[in-house]
Amino acid sequence: MPSVDQVIFWLGALVIAAPTLLVAQLGLASLLDAKLSERTINRSNQTAVVTGLCAAAAILALMLLTGSRHVAIDFGTWIEIPHFHFSIKFVFDRLSVPLAILSFLLTGTIGAFASKYMHRERGYNRFFVLYALFLLGLVVTSLADTIETLFAGWEFVGLSSALLVAFFQERPAPPKNGLWVWTIYRLSDAALLLAAVVLHHHHASGEGDFDELLSIGGFWPEGHTTLAPGYVLPVGLLLIVAAAGKSGLVPFSGWLPRAMEGPTPSSAVFYGALSIHLGAFLLLRASPILESSHWLGLTVVAIGFSTAVIASLTGSVQTDVKSALSFACLAQVGIIVVEIGLSCLLQWPWLRYVALVHILGHGCLRTLQFVRAPSLLRVYRQLEDAIGDRLPQAAGPFDRFAEPIRLWLYRFGLERGYLDSLLLSCFVHPFTRAFRWCDALERRWTDLLTGEASRESDKVQPFSGSLEDLT
């Protein structure tokens, strides 16, 4: 008779193995150029999701039955050098299990949706490879117990999301917007990576385990951090940047509507419901760190609040259904982040449960709304018929404000808070200008030193030759 811990271990292994095997199957088939049929893909997908979901649900049941609040599954240390070790470790606790179940449930449902929706589309295989990678990333991220495991999952999610945004690569807009999403994600990845490095550096033994860093005096949500006070602020800020990028918080909000370039199911589940919450999840996971400094708590509240305000203002003037939904989504993510920030600021761990429930509920509802987005015309018609008249439309908020202010606010919303323009003009353009300036400087110097045009690459043509040369 295996012990409960052993059962949980094997179930946990199953939860991770199911999406891993799915990625391996679909990915290898694509690499080897063996085109799988739609039917095979669907079967594998169903098997993986159902297995993972059942295993995760079983773990939840067992944990509830035994009253266990924290089970860690260690897959061993893979790299060990002085001051650093890389270990793969997963944790099942009150934060990770609900999220893993939500991930399987929503991703699985959307997988079933996509299997029909994408029928006969040229990129069917590609879509499901990315889909599987996304699922794996999501499960790994939510269950991660070390920061490097979390980073791995985080990367899978980022890569698959950006490629799904650019899914329709024959038109110019999707790759362009995919690149934008990718850039923001990289920025947030870089912040997370730096945070990991700092954490490892801090710990003499070189561990990035959440167990040891964050779970002093209790399991999530009650734990406290062992991080030295000097490290709290930099690590915390880096984590906030990482979360802000991934969750589209201010000032990175502009990527979310751009992510609507992909097919409806991927927009729905990926940006509307799951990956948009990853930043909030990271903050929840790291809440013991945020709790140790008022400044961090305040920053989180401020970012969350401004995101919520800008997003709901912007959302109210959007005239296409997907942008409207994505800003509605962002407003809630902002509020969730405020909840997390307040829980840290006021030392109210129970508020973290509120945030978690908010994430779960918001994920489900928004997925349903996204999936039904193409029904909007019909829904409006039905509502009008039920009400017996045109749908009432308010004159808009801020009625009491003077007209110039109202117009200003309206334009602010229409232009999506100018966030993208600001990023471009305050960061991107100065950044590229600085490097171009360095490049020009280098060229001047080398030209001066050689006494002629020194850069040979300037003169190279894509192909040179004439008719006669070819025989």
Partner 1 sequence: MHALAVGDRQPNESATYSPLAHLREAIERAARLLPSQGPITVFISQNTLQAFEHLPFEEAVKRGAQVFGHHSYLSEDRFRHELARGRIRHADLLEALAEDLGTGAYDAVPGVGTRLDLRMAMLQYPLRTGPAEELLWFVAETDALRKVRWEASAADRSRLIAETRHWVLRDLRGGNESSLAGAAAREIGGAPAGLLGLLDRFDESEMESWSEAQWEGLTLQMLWRVCCDGVRGIPAPDSPRAFHLRHRDLLLKATGNDTDQLVHDLLIKFCAAFLDQGLASWPLPGRDRGFFAAFRAVYRQAGGPPDGWLWGLRKELARLDAAETSPVESVRESLELLGVSPFHWEPFIADTLVALRGWGGMVRQVEVRGDRVPRPIAEGSLVEFLAVRLILDRLAVAHVASQSLGYRGTLADLRETLRDHAQFDAPGDEQRAFQMFQLAQVMRLTPSELHRLTTAQWTSLVSEIEAFAGIERQRLFHLAYERRFRTQALDAIALHARQATGRPPAPRFQVVCCLDEREESLRRHLEEVAPDVETFGTAGFFGVAMYYRGAADAHFVPLCPIVIRPQHWVTEDVAGSAETTHRRRARTRRVLGTASHRFHLGSRGFAWGALLTGAVGVLASIPLVARILFPRLSARIARRFEGLVQAPEQTALHLGRRDEQPGPENGGLGFSPDEMTSAAERLLRDIGLTSGLSRLVLLIGHGSNSQNNPHNSAYMCGACGGAAGGPNARAVAQMLNDPEVRAQLAARGIAIPAETWFVGGYHDTCSDSITFADWERIPPSHRDEFSTAQRDLDAACDRNAHERCRRFMSAPLKLSFAAARKHVEERADDLAQTRPELGHASNAICLVGRRELSRGLFLDRRAFLTSYDPSQDDDESSILARTLQAVFPVCGGINLQYYFSSVDNQGFGAGTKLPHNIAALVGVMDGAASDLRTGLPWQGVEIHEPMRLLFIIETTAERMLRIMDNHAGIGQMCRNGWVQLALVHPASRAVSVFQRGQFEPYQPRDAALPRAASSVDWYRGWRDHLEFAQLGR
Q: CA gyration radius for the chain?
A: 25
Q: Kindly state the smallest distance separating residue 211's Cβ from partner 1, in Å.
A: 29
Q: Find the binding residues for partner 1 in span 406-425 (CB under 8 A).
A: 406-408, 410-411, 413-415, 418, 421-422, 424-425
Q: Under the criterion CB under 8 A, does residue 283 sit at the interface with partner 1? A: no
Query: Which residues have C-beta within 8 Å of that of residue 256, sequence separation ≥ 6?
Result: 248, 271, 276, 326, 327, 329, 330
Q: Does 118 sit near partner 1 (CB under 8 A)? A: yes
Cβ 459 vs Cβ 467: under 8 Å: no
Contact assessment for residue 453 and residue 447, using Cβ atoms and an 8 Å cutoff: yes
Least distance in Å: CB of 170 to partner 1?
A: 8
Minimum CB distance to partner 1 smaller for 87 or for 267? 267
Nearer to partner 1 by C-beta: 221 or 257?
A: 257
Sign of CA dihedral 275, 236, 330, 322: negative
Helix, strand, or coil here: 67? coil
440 binds partner 1 (CB under 8 A): no
Neighbour count for residue 461 (Cβ, 10 Å) = 6
CA torsion through residues 339, 340, 345, 348, sign = positive
Q: How far is CA 63 from the centre of its chain?
A: 28
x/- track of binding to partner 1 for residues 146-185 (CB under 8 A): ---------------------xx-xx-xx--x--------
All residues at 6 or more sequence positions from 43 whose CB lies less than 8 Å from its CB, including other chains: none
Distance of CA 398 to the CA centre of its chain: 33
Nearest approach, Cβ of 273 to partner 1 (angstroms)?
Answer: 10
Residue 360 touches partner 1, criterion: CB under 8 A:
yes
As given in the structure block, the two tokens for residue 328 are 């509605």
- Between 229 and 388, CB nearer to partner 1: 388
* DSSP-derived secondary structure letter, 425: I
158 or 262, CB closer to partner 1? 262
For residue 96, the minimal CB distance to partner 1 (Å) is: 18
Q: CA 164 to CA 176: how far, in whole Å?
A: 12
Q: Is 468 an interacting residue with respect to partner 1 (CB under 8 A)?
A: yes
Compute the half-sphere exposure of residue 109: CA atoms within 13 Å on the CB side of its CA: 16
Beta bridge partner(s), residue 89: 74
Enumerate residues 293-352 that contact partner 1 by CB under 8 A. 308-309, 312, 315-325, 328, 331-332, 335
CB of 438 to partner 1, least distance (A): 20
Nearer to partner 1, 33 or 389 (CB): 389
Q: Which of 217, 234, 361, 430 binds partner 1 (CB under 8 A)?
A: 361
The full length of the chain comes to 471
Only segment of 18-26, 75-83, 155-163, 361-369 that touches partner 1 (CB under 8 A): 361-369
User: Judged by CB, which is closer to partner 1: 216, or 376?
Assistant: 376
Q: Which of 86, 113, 219, 348 binds partner 1 (CB under 8 A)?
A: 113
What is the spatial distance between Cα 357 and Cα 125, in angstroms, rounded to a whole number?
A: 34
What six digits make up the tokens of 448? 């001066």
| Binding residue for partner 1, selected from 160, 225, 299, 367, defined by CB under 8 A | 367
Shortest Å, Cβ 255 to partner 1: 10
| Number of residues lying near partner 1 (CB under 8 A) | 113
Please give the residues from 218 up to 257 whose contact with partner 1 meets the rule CB under 8 A.
Answer: 257
| Among residues 107, 253, 264, 299, the one that binds partner 1 under rule CB under 8 A | 264
Question: Considering the complex, what minimum distance in angstroms separates the CB of residue 386 from partner 1?
Answer: 3
Of 304, 74, 261, nearest to 161 by C-alpha is 261
| Minimum distance from residue 201 beta carbon to partner 1 (Å) | 38
Which residues inside 64-93 make contact with partner 1, applying CB under 8 A? Answer: none
> Which H helix or E strand runs over 92?
strand 84-93
Q: Give the pair of three-digit tokens for residue 210.
A: 């959440």
Q: Does 100 bind partner 1 (CB under 8 A)?
A: no
387-406: contacts with partner 1 (CB under 8 A): 387-397, 403-404, 406
Tell me the CB-side half-sphere exposure of residue 96, using CA atoms within 13 A.
Answer: 31
